[in-house]
Structure 1
Amino acid sequence: MIDTIRRRSGQLLSFALLSLPFSTQSVAQGYPNKPITIVVPYPAGSPPDALARLLAKDLHDAVKQTVIVENKPGASGMIGAKAVASAAADGSTLLMHTPAWPAAKIFMKKPIVPVPEGLEPVTLVAEGRFALTAAGSLPAKNFNEMVSYAKANPGRLNFATTGGGDSLLYFHLMLKQKGIRIEPIQYKGSAEYAPALINNDAQLAFTPEYSMLPLVKDGKLKVLAVTGDKRSTVYPDVPTFKELGLPGIRNNWMGIFAPPGTPASLISKLNADLTAIIKSPEVSRRIQAIYFEPVGSSAQELRKRVDTEISEWSALARDVGIVAQ
């Protein structure tokens, strides 16, 4: 009798183990069975919002399901991150985030959502260049002249910042490696950078490559350096930070994340759908039209990017005395 029970128990266990992969696969095979929401933790009209809306239509066409873009700005992207982290892990709620996600590990003692384990990476959608933008009145024609001026006039220059994020970390990296002193001035948002630079209240700021282009063309502002492995087609005469010996100052990026606990099979399905869309000629063209470069990475590559930035920025924060608040 006992042997019979043991045999039946063993058979049931074997059946359960054998059926497990099929049950996880069926989750992906049945996906999506309800509308998909892409949460953007920034305002409408921001670069992450533009990319999310660009992807939404093609994702709708690919999965034959309604795709909604919902803006939830606030707390350096944490309001939106929390909404996704607490959502059902069924692929119906996704997040379009930026390097503000790993940077939260540096600037926040207790992030609302644990970084990085609070979200599951899906794919790195695209990268965008940063430009080191300067006031037109700055008495320096290029990056090296700016460094020389800063060394000769320590503390006389100011840079505009919102008080956190990867751009502030990159400023500290630049100051440390070039041995210069430039004082930060905190603004409520990056929309305040242009008037601050034009009025010479601040002399430097990290901005998206394209955002100050009309003011640069008018001579009111100038660009001293850009991120990226090769020179920008927008500013072909401007050197990259890599050329200037600062390879650690990298492009901005936008990535898709899912709630924690999302099954691996579902992450794979999402990654396959999204990367196919991102790498399609038409979508790639539309991404480039808004000054981003399409990527469409694996989930593992996005995870590595986040982990690398946390590691590098943590070391930098210790070196320059950044204290999490």
Structure 2
Amino acid sequence: MNIRNRVAGLLACLGVLSVSGTGAANAADAPAFPTKPVSIVVPYAAGGATDIIARLIGKRLGEVWKQPVVVVNKPGAGTVLGAGFVAKSPGDGYTLYMTTAAHTISSSLYRSLPYDPVKDFAPINLSAIVPLVLVVGPTVPAKDLPELLAYARSHPGATYASPGNGSPQHLAGALFKSKAGLELTHVPYKGDAPMLSDLMGGQVQMAFVTLSSALPHIKSGKLRAIALAHSKRSPTLPSVPTFTQAGLPFQAATWFGLFSPATMPPGLRQKINEDVTRIVAEPATRASIEDLGGDAVNEGPKEFSAFIDSESKRWAEAVKVSGAQVD
């Protein structure tokens, strides 16, 4: 009896050792991430909203991952330079990509691209949306949308500015012009700064501007906000109605989302999304996004993919209406 019990006990111990050894082997087989610095590529110059949000999330990811997360600015060719670099990078998690609505515009805007905006990228997290606001400069007397429409109809050829051909701001203006039946002249600039300078100086009459860029100038009284191209009012500008509330159903916004190269394994993509989701949900992160005039969205790969599909269709219509095309 004693011998039988000892044998059973020995077999049980061996079984435990075997199971624990298998578990250790499986843990060893699962690669740790990250084990070295991670880069977040931003296809714009430092200082803009995309750069600010990438650095905000990257700083917290570095603290969570115990590895440096470095923002790499690769501006040029309307985000094509940065996107092309990421599309050709390994999908090992060490090269991520924070971009905007320009990503869903590019397939309709450019005759040819060195990458496919959908097939070559894997959506990870839709972090924030910043709506566009229609503003007028000091030479336009309109205080609300009906007054602006009346002004534009009595001044055919009135100008609307944008930070560049094919930008979300340009395409929002083209859609507004089409939906309202206006004769407006588009004046493209090379970036927000010169556009805003001329708008406040009265050289151009109106523009769609990201709320984050327009907010300080609206609050100082140098620009007048007419309507928000969003589904709801912004708490930072509670007195400014949405276009729908003002009588012209219309939405246009830019968004900020994190991507990886398409070759990233689904498990790693989900892990990164979970970490980013926790960070965007933090009160301090949400407050920082709201200070930019944005909404913290925090949607994962499945929801973000569906959002990209709908955005691609929305901006394809805008590109067609605008007639914009880049070779």
Q: TM-score, normalized by length of structure 2?
A: 0.86
Are 2:307 and 1:309 equivalent residues in the alignment? no
Which residue of the partner structure matches residue 49 of structure 1? Answer: 51
Q: Which residue of 2 aligns with 1:179?
A: 181
2:138 is matched with which residue? Answer: 136
- 1:174-219 alpha-carbon deviations (Å, 9 max, x no partner): 1111111110011111111222112221111111214233433443
Task: Give the Å deviation of 1:310.
Answer: 1.4
Aligned residue runs from structure 1 range 90-239, under 5 A:
90-239=92-241
Match of 1:30 in 2: 32
Q: Which amino acid aligns with 1:48?
A: T
For 2:84 and 2:130, locate their aligned partners in 1 and report how far apart those are by CA, in whole Å: 25
Q: Is the 8 A contact 1:28 1:269 kept in 2?
A: no
Q: What is the Cα deviation at residue 113 of structure 1?
A: 2.3
| C-alpha separation in 1, matches of 2:167 and 2:30 | 35
1:31 maps to a residue whose letter is F
| Structure ID, larger Rg | 2
Contact 2:39 2:69 in 1 (8 A): yes
Inter-partner Cα distance in structure 2 for 1:303 and 1:142? 36
Q: Distance in 1 between matches of 2:249 and 2:93?
A: 36
Match status 1:252 vs 2:244: no
Pairs within 5 Å for 1:262-281: 262-281=264-283
SS at match of 1:285: helix
- Give the letter aligned to residue 80 of structure 1: G
C-alpha displacement of 1:320: 4.8
Task: Say how many residue pairs are matched.
Answer: 303
Residue 211 of structure 2 aligns to which amino acid in structure 1? E
1:210 and 1:234 in contact (8 A); partners too: no
Alpha-carbon distance in 2 for matches of 1:43, 1:28: 37
Amino acid at match of 1:314: A
Deviates more, 1:155-164 or 1:306-315: 155-164
Q: Deviations over 1:285-307 (max 9, x none)?
A: 23323332212101122112221
Indicate the residue corresponding to 2:74 in structure 1. Answer: 72
The whole-number CA distance in structure 2 between the counterparts of 1:265 and 1:25 is: 15
List per-residue Cα deviations over 1:152-191 (Å, max 9, x = no partner): 2221334334111222221111111111111001111111
Q: Secondary structure at the match of 2:239?
A: coil
Q: Does 1:289 pair with 2:315?
A: no
Counterpart-to-counterpart distance in 1, 2:175 and 2:28: 47
> In the superposition, relative to structure 1, how do residues 77 and 295 fare at CA in structure 2: closer, same or farther (>3 Å)?
same
Stretch of structure 1 that moved more, 245-254 or 167-176? 245-254
Q: Distance in 1 between matches of 2:326 and 2:247?
A: 28
Q: Which amino acid aligns with 2:32?
A: G
2:91 is the alignment partner of 1:83: no
1:317 Cα shift? 3.2
Change (3 A) 1:270 1:200: same
SS in 2 for 1:224: strand
AA matched with 1:309: E
Identity in percent: 33
Unaligned runs of 5+ residues in structure 2 are 1-24
In structure 2, relative to structure 1, the CA distance for the partners of 1:218 and 1:313 (3 Å cut) is: closer
C-alpha displacement of 1:267:
1.1
Amino acid at match of 2:42: V
Corresponding residue SS for 1:31:
coil
Distance 1:226 1:81 in 2: 29
Alpha-carbon distance between aligned partners in 2 of 1:169 and 1:99, rounded to the nearest angstrom: 11
Q: 2:14 maps to which residue? A: none
AA aligned opposite 2:283: P
Alpha-carbon distance in structure 2 between the residues aligned to 1:28 and 1:247:
50
Instruction: Write the distance in 1 (CA, Å) between the matches of 2:322 and 2:140.
Output: 26
Letter in 2 for 1:157: T
